[in-house]
Amino acid sequence: MAAYTVQTLSFNGSALALGAVSASDTFANDGHTVLQVSNASASPLTATIVSAQLCNQGFSHNVAVTVAAGATELIGPFPTNRFNDSNGNVTVQYGATTSITAAAYRVNY
């Protein structure tokens, strides 16, 4: 498990860095954080955002996002009351790790 360093997006442009993923990773979340997942493999993969709390309908369920082969997805932002664990982190699990990169970004708005 790795912890992503959350990068901050800027109006003046941002040199963003993606890194290799593990089967399960975390990132700090303040409610303005998004996750970028890039899939350079020849097969689709599933990135699963772990629900740490109940949703507004009273259920605890994860959010699974399919990232197509050769595609990039931006996921989030993540409501803190649903996705943050007791340390203020979101956990993301990957169905595959080969040729997959990801990064977490804070969106200033």
pLDDT band at 40 (very low <50, low <70, confident <90, very high): very high
Q: Whole-number mean pLDDT of the chain?
A: 93
Which domains are present in the chain?
A: 2-106 (2.60.290)
DSSP 25: E
Quote the CA–CA distance of 38 and 55 in Å, as a whole number: 27
- The band of 109, judged by pLDDT with boundaries at 50, 70 and 90, is low
Does residue 52 carry a pLDDT above 80?
yes
For the record, the structure tokens of 89 come out as 């982190």
Record the pTM: 0.91
Looking at residues 49-68, what average pLDDT do you find?
89
pLDDT of residue 19 exceeding 90, the answer is yes
